[in-house]
Amino acid sequence: MSSRIAFLKGHGTQNDFVIVPDPENAIDLSPAAVAALCDRRAGIGGDGLLHVVRSAAHPEAREMAAQAEWFMDYRNGDGSIAEMCGNGVRVFARYLQRSGHVGEGDLAVATRAGVKRVHIAKAGSDSGSAAGDITVGMGKAVFPDGPAESVSVSVGAHSWPARNVNMGNPHAVAFVDDLDQAGNLWAPPPVAPASAYPDGVNVEFVVERGPRHVAMRVHERGAGETRSCGTGACAVAVAAARRDGADPAVMGTPATYVVDVPGGRLVIMERPDGEIEMTGPAVIVAEGEIDAAWLHEHVEPARP
């Protein structure tokens, strides 16, 4: 391993990531290494890590290599593996654009939740940003137990019905009167029945802001409360559409929701065929080098 490893830091609506380019999958990023890098005091700091690998070089992505050159090997901030991260895909695409691997327009990104279609808008688009917003095709939402409320979320003595929504990763969406009711979201809110989420769950608390406009807070499994969650915003939008009687499959027209997160704003559109698109910003803020000796020293277990 080289004595130094290149990294970048980026965020999508303040959901922030350490980015490690590794086209040939040559860097061994153990869970402990990822947790050390994402540590906000002793490491670089991030809600998660984006390991950038060519699909053909990664055993989990080789079958997708014909469809997508690049694989987003996403890890949560505690080092655990996650299937998908919506904000992460946008930042991943922004990195590929910055590095010259892709330009404005369409591209495909392989993830553990399948191949995601991405569109990078031109700079100076309607958002007015220096770099255009990025739209990600997020696939279809799945209601594991049907569209009705099937689980509950609790904070202290309060409990709310929630919708079980899977966006490639699991979500429990609860509509509340005030986002402060979510309390301290660094600890995972209890969800019942626990059997509904054998691999853990992201929990969203949602309030109304206006017609087709909601705001949310989220606890992400493996990360705690984050400033944004792209798959969570999609889960919230589809849950809100069902609650509002605006299911696109029934109405025959797309449903578009503005979803405010603590770190900014995302726009979610669900088409009548169930396909969901998420649009929002993605920013690269820094780049540098990781000292591989430090990483080895801090994450390798002590030998007897």
Count Cβ atoms below 10 Å from residue 87 Cβ, excluding itself.
35
Model confidence at 302: pLDDT above 50: no
Nearest-angstrom CA–CA distance, 213 and 167: 20
Average pLDDT over residues 212-239: 95
Average pLDDT over residues 27-35: 93
The residues assigned a catalytic role are 85, 229
- For 156, 217, 223, the CA distances from 262, given in Å and listed in that order, are 23, 7, 15
Nearest-angstrom CA–CA distance, 219 and 225: 4
Q: How far is CA 153 from the centre of its chain?
A: 21
Asked if residues 122 and 132 have their Cβ atoms less than 8 Å apart, the reply is yes
Which pLDDT value is given to residue 1? 52
Which pLDDT value is given to residue 29? 92
Count Cβ atoms below 10 Å from residue 30 Cβ, excluding itself.
13
Annotated binding site: 15, 76, 86-87, 169, 202, 220-221, 230-231
Domain annotation for the chain: domains and CATH numbers? 4-133+283-299 (3.10.310.10), 151-279 (3.10.310.10)
Which pLDDT value is given to residue 148? 59
Model confidence at 299: pLDDT above 70: no
Model confidence at 108: pLDDT above 90: yes
CA within 13 Å, CB half, 226: 30
Average pLDDT over residues 103-111: 96
